Amino acid sequence: MDQDASARPSLAGYLVGVYLFSVCAFGHAEFSALLIIPQLMGAALVGYALYDILGGLRIKIPLEIGLYALLGVWAAFTHYIGPRAGEGFTPGLGTLLKIVIATMACAQLIKTDADLFTALKIFVFSIVYVYIQNQGEIGYLRMAGQVTEEDRFAGTLSNANTAAIFALTVVWACMILLLRSRKSQTKGALFVVPLVVSLVIIYYSGSKKGLIGLALMVLFVTRLLYKRQNITRFQKGLMVIASAALIVLAGYFIYTSPFFFRMKSLFAGISNASDANRWELAREAIEVWLMNARTFFVGVGYDNFWSYSSLGVYAHSTPLELLASCGIIGCSLFLGFLGVLGDKFLRLTRGAPDGDSKNLFFAIDILLVIFTFFMATAVLYDSKELLPILGCLAGYGSFRLRERAEF
């Protein structure tokens, strides 16, 4: 990569990394003494971002992050004109606004390769702490002869799908860090630990999204290996063999999961109670969105769809939840955020000056594709684990585009 790739990280990179670690490690903690840690780190993150803005007299928040910020404003507006207007800040709305602010701060602070990679290095080890917290439950699943749907691992993360999505994000970050450190095998070996822990969590979560997402990631990684530049024909042949072996291992990993019966049911077209409920929620979300002209544009108010659902829960789909709660305007703002971010890295991938940069940008494309896949069946617009990382990528992508323009 360019000279900036070898630059020393700034305080911003370390601060963002510690914030990401604290949110993932302590953000789901049951004890208030631990919950205060991510809150304090979030305050420090935002404070330093404001200091950075005032110091340079320049706001570097990208367009896509601006659209996400507008979603936060729009969500608050729909909430205050909705049926729960008199309740003030509900926990759901408060959480969204805090995540919006943290995401904006990450986008402001991440400006270089060194800061991005430093933040990811700290982030990936949060899953080791999560594993230590939950090793008793995971140990039980390892010893259990037979498991049921209710035995899926969630632990302190509260939800099996949340656990799988978080773990798969760590797998992605480890993949990038391993590619980055391929010239230093000692440093690269460190990232094998969180990588293995992440695979264990995906294995026992029983999440169909997690297992399918892992399969997609493996396919993308094999392409990444095959497209590496400056290798001989013999080395390319070895890459083909390695890629085939990786696909076989991933297939065996998925097949031997104790919850593989959930995948079999999916491909056999057998609907269980969970799938039936999701279809019902999807139908109800569309009906709520199309009730009248007002709900079409504004929805029924942020964090209000559950009160219209016969099951009394959220829609379990990012676009559908936004359509029902915030209307077409709110949904368009979030899809615009993803679209602008995706277009940014597609342009960077196509115009990459060297093979290393191209591989990095393509790896980021992988995360965005998998995030889009996840959000179809999960509510992720307020994900405390994922959105700040997307903020980091938005800031980094803008830095790279400015660098290209200056060059």
Tens-place pLDDT, residues 120-158: 999 999 999 999 989 888 888 888 767 777 778 888 887
Tens-place pLDDT, residues 95-118: 999 999 999 999 999 989 999 999
Tens-place pLDDT, residues 226-280: 666 556 677 667 777 877 888 888 888 888 888 887 777 766 655 566 767 888 8
Mean pLDDT of the chain: 86
Average pLDDT, integer, range 168-197: 82
**What does the pLDDT read at residue 266?**
67
**What does the pLDDT read at residue 160?**
87
Q: What is the pTM of this model?
A: 0.89
User: How many whole angstroms separate alpha carbon 57 and alpha carbon 33?
Assistant: 37
Average pLDDT, integer, range 220-224: 76
**What does the pLDDT read at residue 16?**
97
What the block records as the tokens of 275 is 């799938």
Non-local CB neighbours of 328 within 8 Å, separated by 6+ positions: 289, 296, 297
Which residue is it, tokens 């986008």? 107
Tens-place pLDDT, residues 42-68: 999 999 999 998 887 677 789 999 999
Lowest mean pLDDT among 220-229, 251-260, 345-354: 220-229
Lowest mean pLDDT among 201-210, 211-220, 272-281: 272-281
Percent pLDDT > 70 in the chain is 87
Average pLDDT, integer, range 218-228: 72
User: How many whole angstroms separate alpha carbon 121 and alpha carbon 173?
Assistant: 8
Q: Residues of 204-230 as b/e, b for ≥16 C-beta within 10 angstroms? A: bbbbbbbbbbbbbbbebbbebbeebee
What the block records as the tokens of 22 is 């604290």
